[in-house]
Amino acid sequence: MNITLKNNLPIGIFDSGVGGLTVYRSLHKRLPDERFLYLGDTARVPYGTKSLSTVERYGIENARFLAAHGIKMLVVACNTASALALPAIERAAGVPTVGVIESGARAAVEQAKTKIGVIATEATVRSGAYRRAIERRAPHVNIIEQACPLFVSLAEEGYAETEAARIIANDYLKELRAALVDALVIGCTHYPVLRKVIEETIGEGVMLIDSGEAVAEDTAAALETHGLGRAPDRENLARPRRLCDDLDHFYVTDSAERFSRIAEMFLGSAPRRLEAVEVWGHDQLNAGRKEN
């Protein structure tokens, strides 16, 4: 493919559902000239309570769907899929692929000296992926992991800044607070929605690492390395792009209406181009539109 044409392709992002919108927000901010193709696998969400083989199968199907639509790079916004299946997903995508786990681990090691806390889904914690990614970079750092499963529904149901969320956060984070961690990795894309409560609960002086922001940095670096960056549009210079505008395309595997409503809560605006699709065909040709 002609280099300029390839550079003009969008960056693919997928997540198990709406959580990855916090990663989309970080990417959009860091890379205002790029366009994005987002896939939320809302028919099969959540991944965080499911097994390795199931998450791998879902991840491969998502990657193939996005690849069939033409992308130059893939960001796996879902921590669980990054933890369990990144190599298989990269092979299926056939383009440079980055995942939130490696980026979050890199950012954590840059900030913390002795003790790093990680909060994530049950599956991500059980996989030990953050632990391995951090230990590879800083073998002597002390790592404490904690699953916070209720945070996902609290975020999706609009309970982020409530007394109930504070009580639950207090319960989940008490060991991490007692351990006096230097940095806390927010290792699930839903959790940044509860950032304020997490910050208040873990206490002052703990650096919060948002894996979404970290992966946006690494995406920018990868575009540079592969020479895949997109040249600025002239009109963009005058009028910066908005989140969820016409240039970014969103696909969901179910419940577009619910996705749209939660997107508005997470991002302040709902996607203008949003489509319900099926991704579970046996090959790329089956990845078509959904009849509902």
Beta partners for residue 116, in sequence order: 143, 183
Of residues 112, 186, 188, 270, which has the active-site annotation? 188
**Out of 8, 54, 284, 286, the residue judged to bind a copy of itself by CB under 8 A:** 54
**Residue 292 within binding range of a copy of itself, rule CB under 8 A:** yes
Would you say 51 or 114 has its CB closer to a copy of itself?
51
**Residue 291 within binding range of a copy of itself, rule CB under 8 A:** yes
Evaluate whether 248 touches 29 at the Cβ level (below 8 Å).
Answer: no
**Residue 127 within binding range of a copy of itself, rule CB under 8 A:** no
Instruction: Give the other-Cβ count within 10 Å of 261's Cβ.
Output: 15
Tell me the CA distances in angstroms from 122 to 70, 193, 209, 288, one per residue in order.
33, 18, 19, 32
CB of 44 to a copy of itself, least distance (A): 6
* 43 CB burial (10 A radius; 0-12, 13-18, 19+): middle
**Out of 118, 120, 129, 168, the residue judged to bind a copy of itself by CB under 8 A:** 168
| Distance in angstroms (rounded) separating the CA atoms of residues 119 and 180 | 14
**Residue 6 within binding range of a copy of itself, rule CB under 8 A:** no
Of residues 21, 55, 73, 78, which has the active-site annotation? 78
**Residue 150 within binding range of a copy of itself, rule CB under 8 A:** yes
**Residue 206 within binding range of a copy of itself, rule CB under 8 A:** no
Give the dihedral of Cα atoms 168, 117, 193, 189; nearest 10 deg.
-120
Angle between helices 52-68 and 79-93 (to 10 degrees): 50
Q: Please confirm, yes or no, whether 78 is among the known catalytic residues.
A: yes
Would you say 122 or 182 has its CB closer to a copy of itself?
122
CB of 256 to a copy of itself, least distance (A): 9
**Out of 91, 128, 132, 153, the residue judged to bind a copy of itself by CB under 8 A:** 153
Tokens matching residue 279:
């991704």
CB of 97 to a copy of itself, least distance (A): 24
**Out of 44, 64, 106, 190, the residue judged to bind a copy of itself by CB under 8 A:** 44
**Strand positions, DSSP E, the chain:** 11-15, 36-40, 73-76, 97-99, 115-120, 142-147, 183-186, 207-210, 249-252, 274-276
Tokens matching residue 68:
């069939």
Active-site residue numbers? 78, 188
Interface with a copy of itself by CB under 8 A: which residues?
Answer: 42-45, 49-54, 122, 149-150, 152-154, 156-157, 159, 162-164, 167-168, 171, 254-255, 258, 276, 280, 290-292
